[in-house]
Amino acid sequence: MTVITFLKDNEIEQFDFPPRFNDEERRRFLVLPDSEIKFRKPETKIGYILQEGYFASKKKFFPPENFYTEDVEYVKKNHWNKSGN
């Protein structure tokens, strides 16, 4: 029986992992929308922003273990203050 290959290895990786953002894309996608959402932990806020940004870009959710360190650092630097909001 013939095995049918729908996607190449690099296409599978592109599907399974979040997009690799450049600096401009990070500024565009990794933002906290205007809302009344309060986050108690920094990890929750960071995860929310990353999930929303990745979803806006690829229309797909990704597991947190696949988040890129450079995106996490960007969100920490730009969207977290001492008060937790």
pLDDT in tens, 8-22: 888 878 888 999 999
pLDDT in tens, 23-81: 999 999 999 877 778 888 889 999 999 999 999 999 999 999 999 999 999 999 987 76
Q: Left (φ > 0), alpha (ψ -120 to 50) or beta: where does 81 sit?
A: beta
pLDDT in tens, 48-59: 999 999 999 999
Give the orientation angle of helix 69-79 with respect to helix 42-58, to 10 degrees: 120
**C-alpha angle 65-71-75 in degrees, rounded to nearest 5:** 110
CA distance 72 to 13: 20
CA dihedral sign, ordered 34, 37, 38, 39: negative
